[in-house]
Structure 1
Amino acid sequence: MIDQITVDKILDAANILDVVSDFVTLRKRGVNYIGLCPFHDEKTPSFSVSPSKGICKCFSCGKGGSPVHFIMEHEQMSYYEALKYLAKKYNIEIKERELSDEEKQVQSDRESMLIINNFAQEYFTNILFNHVEGRSVGLAYFHERGFRDDIIKKFSLGYSLEQRDALVKEAEKKGFKQEYLIKTGLCLEGQNGYISDRFRGRVIFPVFSLSGKVLAFGGRVLKKSDKLAKYVNSPESEVYHKSNELYGIYQAKQAIVKNDCCFLVEGYTDVLSMHQAGIENVVASSGTSLTPGQIRLIHRFTNNIIVLYDGDAAGIKASLRGIDLILKEGMNIKVVLLPDGDDPDSFSKKQSASSFTEYIKNNEVDFIRFKTNLLLQSAGDDPIKRAALISDIVQSISIIPDSIVRSVYTKECSRLMDINEEVLLREVNKKKFDLLTQKQTPPINTSIEKENKDQETGAETEQNLPETTPETVKEKRKSSPLDSFERTLIRYMVRYGRHILFTVKDENTNENIEWKVIPYIIADLKNDEIEFQHPLYRYMAEVAVKKFEEDSEHLERYFLTHPDENISKLAVDMISEKYQLSKIHTKFQKIDTEEDRLADLVPRALYELKNAIVCQNIKQINDELKKAGKTKDLEKVNSLMSELSTLYEVKAALAKQLGERIVNPS
């Protein structure tokens, strides 16, 4: 058995574009990639790969899925064989064994820590908008910095009260254990056993994982004090390793894929300001040196990085090592120097999305040229310093994996530094040879794993899930007239489970109540005592409800990576979109998406299912009527006619809701 933490490391490392490209030639179309399906003969490409969703699908034969299921299908492997294949590809060590009780406890602790982090984020955000101190101090600070409420809500920003134990008391009231408040770093334990809030009196910046889980927090103090650090961050924990996370990656991943480029900045507010200016493909290293784990996180979505600098020469030189790591990953990197006195935060506040993009286009420089010019300025005419500069540049070029790119950069550096190209080429090849013949060290992935044994990667636990097992959904059954209607509702639950349909006012408390897709569908069906008939849909609905109750933000991912092929393939079908609107359709008017129309679509889907059930019952009673008529059972006939009359009344009421033409039965 492969433990769940390792499984999640494999799933997080597996880039669908990278995996499929090993077997299929792909070309870009919009935000996705297409190619000839490897599972059947075709001349026109119908096989689509979506990097942002992490799935592939053939719209002709229907095959596809997550990276694991693609390998299973293509290489004819079992689920665990495919996991091993991907683990080997990404240098992830697998230890197959039964989990000990201690390891099961660790897994349970991780899930508990993620749940309490989610609670804390909602608590801090609620304080920011609804508490007197939160509004007058925290919200006032964000408004003073020029941030709009939609950006504040988009990044779930918050505020922690000055009171020493406000979070502690609220958490205890909700039934959370102090143990997990301390383990996550939300609270500190004093020598006398007193528990206090770590972030008190600070505005809060939650750090989300790629799958949308709250991993950690950053807090900025608002009072001027020499005794207090300006920023305080969550400590390393079983769910948070800062060297493998980037601030803003959750909000930026789709924009990165769409633009095929990622802006890299330093701080939280840099990210916020750029989003507010309309530039969403941006992430921050949050003041830490760039690490291989962070680079690979970006590499999952694009091959192109643009680093924004504010002109501080000392800061730029300190970050050069991290940029060398980007080159080593085989990525294309460009650098943009912002005007003097500006950082990404202040500069983006002065720009629109178009003017910002135009500035980038006019001022971006490839990294080798940038580094050469920067070091040449400091070396001047000193031959010793110039020799050291050449050695430094050669080192950077030698780590680039693509030989053609290395050759181009060697030629360019020869021109910039006025040195013979052959000399440079010899030195590059020598450095490259030295790298290849050095004593082998563990691959980057492996070393990262050893440093961060319990990296949070969106791990799932199977505990407390519905008793229905994947085996029960494999049972053979005839298709039912209800299947298509049930499927539609399940699709809404999987794709938009936490989407707010509408808000209603409670007549008793006068408070606004938000109805989200999953609870609305389940409550409506329960009200009419309707259950899903298809075992596959019934299982998925039960899991969706459980995950919603646990505040899980990654329902799509759970089903896409499910070991049962029936479930994962169905999930792929539900979130795949065969066609994309051309930009011309949205140039002159806003086109409502399915998500925009959910408040109409979800209730209608429920009415359609009920109507199908009524029609099914009417057919069944008509069949029974025929049998009763043949036996001349008058009492049975009268009873069935009464039921039939009631059903037709219900059908008429449903028809009004559905806008259908009503045909009265004769």
Structure 2
Amino acid sequence: MISQTTIDTVFETARVEEVIGDFVQLKRAGSNFKGLSPFSDERSPSFMVSPAKGIWKDFSSGKGGNAVAFLMEHSHFTYPEAIRFLAKKYNIEIEETEQTDEEKANTDVRESMYLVSEFAKDYFHNTLLHSEEGKAIGLSYFKERGFTSETIKKFALGYSPEAWDAFTKEALGKGYKLEFLESTGLTIPKDDRPFDRFKSRVMFPIQSMSGRVLGFGGRILTNDKKAAKYLNSPESDIYHKSKVLYGIFQAKQAIAKQNNCFLVEGYTDVIQFNQAGIENVVASSGTALTPDQIRLINRLTKNITVLFDGDAAGLRASIRGIDLILEEGMNVKVCAFPDGEDPDSFAKKTPYEELVKYLDENAKDFIQFKASMLMNDAKNDPIKKADLIRDMVVSISKIPDRIQREVYIQECSRIMDISEQVLVSTLAQLVQKDVAEVGKKLKQEQKDKAFEVVKNDTPAQVQKIDILYGLERKIIEILLLYGNKTEEFEDVLLKANEEGEIENVIEKKQYKVFQRIYLSLQEDEVELANPLFRDIFKSLTSYYLQNENFNIEQYLMHLQPEFAQEVTDILMEDERVVLHNWEGQNIFPKSKNDTISQYVSETILTMRWYLVDRIIEEIKSSISSEPGSDNIEPLSMAMDYSKLINSFSKKLGRVMSRYSN
């Protein structure tokens, strides 16, 4: 178990923008950073990071928290895993305390699968480097491919022995359970003698963006025609091949920095490019490109350059993925290598400067690429040329941005020497067809819903706005943002004048904001109605009483998850202003920092007004309409409370006017 000292050091050291910056492309927005949500498919940024507060908020999904919460949400880390990840990132030595049997038993299934996969990665890598069989077969193969020792280490390449159960026997001997060896696909069950899936293969670990081992690819080195050349881990709770990209862990920082991602097909393409000095490259691992894989890249950059082998058949098969990239609103270029070359072979024999130059000079816009590739087939055949143009317009129709579509239509008109008006007309028909299909689908869904029989005990009612909830939430917001600030407040005191008459006297006093709120609620004998807000209020006032300075990260660290989520939501509410860039439109929202005491006084008075008004309504409901009923007392009470509301009204008016100049 990780010691509290280590956890405290991690929280003090980790910078939320640095941690999240490894997974999301962030751009500065004032004192904050913004980016595309890593939790939903979006084209406008709704993800905000506040370095000053040490927290983040995703307005599209509602998720939020600190750096540890991000790793737990994004990479499915457990709390200890997230701490270990950050400790490794910031070179913090981890102090351990003895783990109880109960804590060991609580490790969940997914975590066990991750642990087994991590062990397998280390086992295969060590076998490659240190066993006689691994060095003679696996290591010699990688050396023949031109991979250096540094590259082999960087990608944790490995070797699985020829023996039927070498890995399985070793894993079981180390205490790993057979059920997790089988659920990850590393071991294949067979009666009483389970055996290794990847026996006698060189191994390529497949890692998530955060570096977790999800599965493996294994290449056979013998000429066994019955065995597949490449074998991948089966689908599991942690490995979904349509949602991962080989090399994304090693490439993520380079992709964000270069603002471009090279997309190839195979493991060795990625490794060879990386070794050549071009690190912003990933592979779809031999599977057809999927929207989930494209969105993974979209978190880091809007630009993809697809690298194809030189053979025409491969080009035509791979070009289908371009439309998918366009549909996701991304910019795509295409680069083909000379006949007989692939990214692996070309990068292996080409010096870095020449390789970069080749990619720069040969990366074409997808319109130019399609035209140059398919025009040879069309030549002087009008029908084939018409089909080619139609194919290009279909690709253009996939682009969500209208301006971009317009530009590509102009480019297509120029390249293909055809009227722009004809292309626009064809495009309009395609877009209209897509819209019609979407509308048809929507109507069908509505029709299906209409036939669903839904039984309700009570008729649906229009949800009322919960005023008290809003006021109590505002009190928590004030405590979080300004609780430790000292402000000047007005106190109304009863004093005798020179004539001996009692009158109201206004005195100005300095209070900590949290003290002012606490005393005001005590004075009114009011406790927050919402249980969650009530608990947060107690924890906040307790924290302020025990700590001279308020540290949001330290405070969040000790909160229960549901408290931490609500606190993050409240703290990041103001960041919506930054996301919408109001100032860029010459709209300047008023900062609460300028009028903190006014904001506090308004909120408390408004809450008092609301609560008293509710009391008046209760009194009114108790007044009897029966003849001869004695309603003097309740009417008198209602009148007294109405006078109280009038005083609140006057105070609110004075508070507002005081700060209006």
Structure 1 residues 305 and 66: CA distance shift in structure 2, 3 A: same
Query: Are positions 1:404 and 2:397 aligned together?
Result: no
* SS at 2:273 equivalent: helix
TM-superposed deviation, 1:363 = 1.2
Report if the CA contact (8 A) 1:473-1:535 is conserved.
no
Report if the CA contact (8 A) 2:159-2:201 is conserved.
yes
- Deviations along 1:419-474, whole A, 9 cap, x unmatched? 2111111000110010011045999xxxxxxxxxxxxxxxxxxxxxxxxx999986
Partners of 1:384 and 1:305 in 2: how far apart? Answer: 32
TM-score when normalising by structure 2: 0.56
Report the equivalent of 2:231: 232
* SS at 1:342 equivalent: coil
Partners of 2:403 and 2:234 in 1: how far apart? Answer: 43
Report the equivalent of 2:311: 312
Structure 1 residues 346 and 564: CA distance shift in structure 2, 3 A: farther
Report the equivalent of 1:47: 32
Partners of 2:106 and 2:434 in 1: how far apart? Answer: 39
**1:109-508 equivalences in 2 (<5 Å):** 109-190=109-190, 192-439=191-438, 476=543
Report if the CA contact (8 A) 2:289-2:321 is conserved.
yes
Partners of 1:431 and 1:208 in 2: how far apart? Answer: 39
* Larger RCO, structure (CA 8 Å, separation 6 or more): 1
Report if the CA contact (8 A) 1:290-1:323 is conserved.
no
Partners of 1:441 and 1:115 in 2: how far apart? Answer: 48
Structure 1 residues 178 and 62: CA distance shift in structure 2, 3 A: closer
Structure 1 residues 145 and 328: CA distance shift in structure 2, 3 A: same
TM-superposed deviation, 1:411 = 1.5
TM-superposed deviation, 1:72 = 7.5
* SS at 1:123 equivalent: helix
In structure 2, the gaps of 5 or more residues are 1-15, 40-46, 74-104, 443-534, 573-661
Counting matched residue pairs gives 414
- Deviations along 1:214-240, whole A, 9 cap, x unmatched? 111000111222222211111112221
Structure 1 residues 473 and 273: CA distance shift in structure 2, 3 A: farther
* SS at 1:115 equivalent: helix
Report if the CA contact (8 A) 1:473-1:536 is conserved.
no
Structure 1 residues 357 and 32: CA distance shift in structure 2, 3 A: farther
Structure 2: which amino acid aligns with 1:242? K
Report if the CA contact (8 A) 1:536-1:567 is conserved.
no
Report if the CA contact (8 A) 1:65-1:569 is conserved.
no
TM-superposed deviation, 1:418 = 2.1
- Deviations along 1:274-311, whole A, 9 cap, x unmatched? 11111111000111111111111111111000011121
- Deviations along 1:251-293, whole A, 9 cap, x unmatched? 1111111010000001001100111111111000111111111
Report if the CA contact (8 A) 2:57-2:569 is conserved.
no
- Give 2:56's match in structure 1, choosing from 54, 58, 65: 65
Larger radius of gyration between Structure 1 and Structure 2: 2
Report the equivalent of 2:92: none
Cα RMSD over matched residues?
Answer: 4.0
Report if the CA contact (8 A) 2:311-2:340 is conserved.
no
Report if the CA contact (8 A) 1:262-1:306 is conserved.
yes
Structure 2: which amino acid aligns with 1:159? Y
Structure 1 residues 174 and 107: CA distance shift in structure 2, 3 A: closer
Partners of 1:126 and 1:566 in 2: how far apart? Answer: 44
**Larger deviation, residues 287-296 vs 169-178:** 169-178
Partners of 1:209 and 1:50 in 2: how far apart? Answer: 20
Partners of 1:181 and 1:107 in 2: how far apart? Answer: 16
Report the equivalent of 1:584: none
Structure 2: which amino acid aligns with 1:241? H
Structure 2: which amino acid aligns with 1:262? C
* SS at 2:344 equivalent: helix
Structure 2: which amino acid aligns with 1:169? K
Partners of 1:472 and 1:280 in 2: how far apart? Answer: 51
Query: Are positions 1:34 and 2:28 aligned together?
Result: yes
Report if the CA contact (8 A) 1:394-1:428 is conserved.
yes
Structure 2: which amino acid aligns with 1:342? E
* SS at 1:147 equivalent: coil
Report if the CA contact (8 A) 1:278-1:352 is conserved.
no
Structure 1 residues 154 and 189: CA distance shift in structure 2, 3 A: same
Partners of 2:441 and 2:158 in 1: how far apart? Answer: 41
Report if the CA contact (8 A) 2:127-2:160 is conserved.
yes
Report if the CA contact (8 A) 2:57-2:63 is conserved.
no
Partners of 2:570 and 2:202 in 1: how far apart? Answer: 40
TM-superposed deviation, 1:136 = 1.9
- Deviations along 1:174-232, whole A, 9 cap, x unmatched? 22222221221111123x44211010111100111122211110001112222222111
* SS at 2:543 equivalent: coil
TM-score when normalising by structure 1: 0.56
Partners of 1:357 and 1:107 in 2: how far apart? Answer: 47
Report if the CA contact (8 A) 1:52-1:253 is conserved.
no
User: Percent identity among equivalent residues?
Assistant: 46
